Amino acid sequence: MWQSTRRRGSVAPAMIVLGIETSCDETAAAVVTGERRILSDLVLSQLDEHRPYGGIVPEIAARSHLEHIDALVADAMQRAGVGFAGLSGVAATAGPGLIGGIFVGVMTGKAIAAARGLPFLAINHLEGHALTVRLTDELDFPYLLLLVSGGHCQLLAVEGVGRYRHLGGTIDDAIGECFDKTAKLLGLGYPGGPEVEQAARHGDPARFELPRPMLGREALDFSFSGLKTAVRHRAAAAGALGAGAQAQLTRDMAASFQAAVGDVLADRCRRALDRFQEDTGRRGPLVVAGGVAANAYLRARLAEAAGERGAAMIAPPARLCTDNAAMIAWAGIERLRAGLTDPLDFAPRPRWPLEHVRGPAAPEDAPAARLAEGGS
């Protein structure tokens, strides 16, 4: 079913893209329109399958994606009320992530694209996170991006689709990973982020003095391994406590940890906003994306830091911060508009830095963009 939009006197079909996400432990499928409407958005979590192991087991993840992807795609299409003939393209996460799962999503996307003669879009998962605010908030380029997820902690200047300039990043652990390890040390569940946030709500952030690595440094880098080690030492020293004191310690440690992370992120982002202003003449905005951006305390801290620099802080709603397929479908729409489709022999990439994502070759790509949009 085509949705029609009237443009310049002619009726052009709206862009509708199916997105598929299988790079980690969520099997996800979504259908999104060029007018920024999410027609369907399904996320099937594998948490219960991985929980007994205290982390993600790649082989279990790949098998589970394979088992569920076809039914999930069919369900997403049905809920969207769109037939395959109504799609403008199929987008699938092609990296970075767990290669077994990525293969499942990419093969599914390619099969639909080949069978229906549709354009295929190989999406970098991080680009999905990076562009989500353009779906949710219709934000224009350029913006400063803090990308904080299970595997990444990076500051980038987002200058356009496929145009990401690295400003700084972690020299050791990713921030989500640090949340997950802290949760494990404190005996909380997996994934750790939401559990630490919940425990921290009733804790004393001043009880433990934890390190604030990189605070005040000129370069826009991060380091979290020292913080993680400090949490480990403090948690071990408290092993002999009784149950009540132990529970309070967990809450206080979670709050102290979160406060340390908040201080570091706020400091790095203030500095990055200064750099961004020097480079572009603009005061932000600061966009925060990726799973850790779902954290309400950190969002508040970053909004405050941005405010100190006269900049806005924008983050997608929490459920679009953690992994989903709507962001992949949207990145597909952005790339389709820019004429950046991919061949059916595109090889999935377990490692794929955002700065290496292909962008428009030259401004002459503009006619391709108009064509892809439906000739308007």
Q: Which residues lie near ligand KG4 (CB under 6 A)? A: 24, 149-151, 176, 179-180, 191-194, 197, 290-292, 294-295, 322-323
Chain-centroid distance of CA 177 in Å reads 14
Binding to Zn ion in span 23-82, by CB under 5 A:
none
Instruction: Name the minimum Å distance from CB 287 to Zn ion.
Output: 15
Nearer to Zn ion, 123 or 338 (CB): 123
d(CA 68, CA 20): 12
* DSSP element (H, E) containing 253: helix 243-280
Instruction: Name the minimum Å distance from CB 325 to Zn ion.
Output: 11
Report the partner that residue 101 touches, choosing among ligand KG4, Zn ion, none (CB closer than 5 to 8 A by kind): none
Report the partner that residue 292 touches, choosing among ligand KG4, Zn ion, none (CB closer than 5 to 8 A by kind): ligand KG4
Count residues near Zn ion (CB under 5 A): 2
Nearer to Zn ion, 195 or 323 (CB): 323
Q: What's the per-residue H, E or C state across 73-135?
A: HHHHHHHHCCCHHHCCEEEEEEECCCHHHHHHHHHHHHHHHHHHCCCEEEEEHHHHHHHHHHH
Report the partner that residue 192 touches, choosing among Zn ion, ligand KG4, none (CB closer than 5 to 8 A by kind): ligand KG4
Q: What is the DSSP letter of 35?
A: T
Nearer to Zn ion, 27 or 149 (CB): 149
Instruction: Name the minimum Å distance from CB 191 to Zn ion.
Output: 11
C-alpha radius of gyration, the chain, whole number? 21
Instruction: Name the minimum Å distance from CB 316 to Zn ion.
Output: 12
Nearer to ligand KG4, 68 or 309 (CB): 68
Report the partner that residue 295 touches, choosing among Zn ion, ligand KG4, none (CB closer than 5 to 8 A by kind): ligand KG4
Phi-psi region of 72 (alpha: psi -120 to 50; beta: other; left: phi over 0): alpha
Nearer to ligand KG4, 80 or 153 (CB): 153
Instruction: Name the minimum Å distance from CB 75 to ligand KG4.
Output: 21
d(CA 20, CA 28): 6
Nearer to ligand KG4, 131 or 338 (CB): 131
Instruction: Name the minimum Å distance from CB 97 to ligand KG4.
Output: 7
d(CA 302, CA 315): 10
* Residue 330, CA distances (Å) to 18, 93, 135, 136, 278 in order: 9, 12, 7, 10, 30
The verdict on 323 binding Zn ion (CB under 5 A) reads: yes
Q: Within 13 Å, how many C-alpha atoms sit on residue 194's CB side? A: 9
Q: How many residues does the chain have?
A: 376
d(CA 338, CA 352): 20
* Residue 304, CA distances (Å) to 148, 216, 295, 307 in order: 18, 17, 14, 5
Q: With H, G, I as helix, E, B as strand and everything else as coil, classify residue 222.
A: strand
Stretch that binds Zn ion, among 33-41, 229-237, 256-264, 318-326 (CB under 5 A): 318-326
* Residue 31, CA distances (Å) to 42, 79, 133, 172, 202 in order: 9, 9, 17, 36, 39
Instruction: Name the minimum Å distance from CB 301 to ligand KG4.
Output: 12
Report the partner that residue 197 touches, choosing among Zn ion, ligand KG4, none (CB closer than 5 to 8 A by kind): ligand KG4
Q: Is the dihedral of CA 148, 151, 156, 160 positive or negative?
A: negative
Instruction: Name the minimum Å distance from CB 49 to ligand KG4.
Output: 16
Binding to Zn ion in span 97-156, by CB under 5 A:
149
Report the partner that residue 322 touches, choosing among ligand KG4, Zn ion, none (CB closer than 5 to 8 A by kind): ligand KG4
Nearer to Zn ion, 149 or 295 (CB): 149
Nearer to Zn ion, 98 or 214 (CB): 98
Instruction: Name the minimum Å distance from CB 223 to Zn ion.
Output: 21
Binding to Zn ion in span 337-376, by CB under 5 A:
none
d(CA 143, CA 72): 34
Residues engaged in binding Zn ion (CB under 5 A)? 149, 323
